[in-house]
Amino acid sequence: MSLDIVILAAGQGTRMRSALPKVLHPIAGKSMLGHVIDTARQLSPRKIHVVIGHGAELVRERLAADDIHFVLQAEQLGTGHAVAQALPALEADKVLILYGDVPLTRVETLARLLEQANDAQLGLLTVNLADPTGYGRIIRDAAGQVQAIVEHKDASDAQRAIREGNTGILAVPGKRLGDWLGRLSNSNAQGEYYLTDVIAMAVADGLVVATETAQDELEVLGANDRIQLAQLERHYQQRAARSLMAQGVTLLDPARFDLRGEVKVGRDVLIDVNVILEGQVVIEDGVQIGPNCVIKNSTLRRGAIVKANSHLEGAELGEGADCGPFARLRPGAKLGAKAHVGNFVELKNAVLGEGAKAGHLSYLGDAEIGARTNIGAGTITCNYDGANKFRTVLGEDVFIGSNSSLVAPLTLGDGATTGAGSTVTQDVPAKTLAVGRAKQRNIEGWKRPTKK
Ligand code: UD1
Ligand code: CA
How far does residue 448's CA lie from ligand 2's centre (Å)? 82
How far does residue 41's CA lie from ligand 2's centre (Å)? 27
Q: Is 22 labelled a binding residue?
A: yes
Q: Is 29 labelled a binding residue?
A: no
Q: Is 80 labelled a binding residue?
A: no
Residue 449 lies in a domain: no
Q: Report residue 216's pLDDT band, with 50, 70 and 90 as the boundaries.
A: confident
Decide: 168 in ligand 1 pocket, CB within 6 A. Answer: yes
Q: Which ligand is nearest to the CA of 80?
A: 1
Average pLDDT over residues 106-126: 97
Decide: 367 in ligand 1 pocket, CB within 6 A. Answer: no
How far does residue 101's CA lie from ligand 2's centre (Å)? 13
Residue 233 lies in a domain: no
Based on the fold, state whether residues 302 and 422 are members of the same structural domain.
yes
How far does residue 194's CA lie from ligand 2's centre (Å)? 9
Average pLDDT over residues 157-175: 97
How far does residue 135's CA lie from ligand 1's centre (Å)? 9
Residue 443 lies in a domain: no
Based on the fold, state whether residues 177 and 120 are members of the same structural domain.
yes
Residue to probe by mutation, ligand 1, list 79, 211, 229, most atoms within 8 Å of CB? 79
Decide: 76 in ligand 1 pocket, CB within 6 A. Answer: yes
Give pLDDT tens digits for 18-50. Answer: 999 999 999 999 999 999 999 999 999 999 999
Identify the domain boundary among 187, 220, 253.
220
Average pLDDT over residues 434-443: 96
Give pLDDT tens digits for 338-349. Answer: 999 999 999 999
Residue 452 lies in a domain: no
Based on the fold, state whether residues 89 and 209 are members of the same structural domain.
yes
Give pLDDT tens digits for 282-329. Answer: 999 999 999 999 999 999 999 999 999 999 999 999 999 999 999 999
Decide: 10 in ligand 1 pocket, CB within 6 A. Answer: yes
Q: Which atom of ligand 1 is nearest to the CA of 136?
A: 11
> Looking at the 3D structure of the chain, how many domains does it have?
2
Decide: 79 in ligand 1 pocket, CB within 6 A. Answer: yes
Q: Is 241 labelled a binding residue?
A: no
Residue 204 lies in a domain: yes
Q: Which ligand is nearest to the CA of 188?
A: 1
Based on the fold, state whether residues 280 and 383 are members of the same structural domain.
yes
Based on the fold, state whether residues 123 and 166 are members of the same structural domain.
yes
Q: 1 pLDDT exceeds 90?
A: no
Decide: 193 in ligand 1 pocket, CB within 6 A. Answer: no
Residue nearest to atom 8 of ligand 1 (CA): 194
Based on the fold, state whether residues 153 and 59 are members of the same structural domain.
yes
**CATH number of residue 102's parent domain:** 3.90.550.10
Residue 348 lies in a domain: yes
Is the entire prediction scored with pTM above 0.75?
Answer: yes
Tell me, letter by letter, the H, E, C secondary structure of the chain. Answer: CCEEEEEEECCCCHHHCCCCCHHHCEECCEEHHHHHHHHHHCCCCCEEEEEEECEHHHHHHHHCCCCEEEEECCCCCCHHHHHHHHHHHCCCCEEEEEECCCCCCCHHHHHHHHHHCECCEEEEEEEECCCCCCCCEEEECCCCCEEEEECHHHCCHHHHCCCEEEEEEEEEEHHHHHHHHHCCCCCCCCCCCCCCHHHHHHHHCCCEEEEEECCCHHHHCCCCCHHHHHHHHHHHHHHHHHHHHHCCEEECCHHHEEEEEEEEECCCEEECCCEEEEEEEEECCCCEECCCCEEECCEECCCCEECCCCEEECCEECCCCEECCCEEECCCCEECCCCEEEEEEEEEEEEECCCCEEEEEEEEEEEEECCCCEECCCCEEECECCCCECCEEECCCCEECCCCEEECCEEECCCCEECCCCEECCCECCCCEECCCCCCCCCCCCCCCCCC
The proportion of the chain whose per-residue pLDDT surpasses 90, expressed as a percent, equals 98
The whole-angstrom separation of Cα 84 and Cα 370 is 65
Based on the fold, state whether residues 198 and 338 are members of the same structural domain.
no
Residue 229 lies in a domain: no
How far does residue 10's CA lie from ligand 1's centre (Å)? 10
Based on the fold, state whether residues 123 and 33 are members of the same structural domain.
yes
Based on the fold, state whether residues 300 and 208 are members of the same structural domain.
no
Residue 331 lies in a domain: yes
Give pLDDT tens digits for 367-386. Answer: 999 999 999 999 999 999 99
Q: Is 343 labelled a binding residue?
A: no
Q: What domain range is 80 assigned to?
A: 3-220
Q: Which ligand is nearest to the CA of 11?
A: 1
Decide: 102 in ligand 1 pocket, CB within 6 A. Answer: no
Q: What is the mean pLDDT of the chain?
A: 97
Q: Is 99 labelled a binding residue?
A: yes
Decide: 238 in ligand 1 pocket, CB within 6 A. Answer: no
**CATH number of residue 320's parent domain:** 2.160.10.10
Supply the residues annotated as catalytic: 360
Q: Report residue 217's pLDDT band, with 50, 70 and 90 as the boundaries.
A: confident
Based on the fold, state whether residues 213 and 248 are members of the same structural domain.
no
Q: Which ligand is nearest to the CA of 151?
A: 1
Based on the fold, state whether residues 340 and 250 are members of the same structural domain.
yes
Based on the fold, state whether residues 207 and 258 are members of the same structural domain.
no
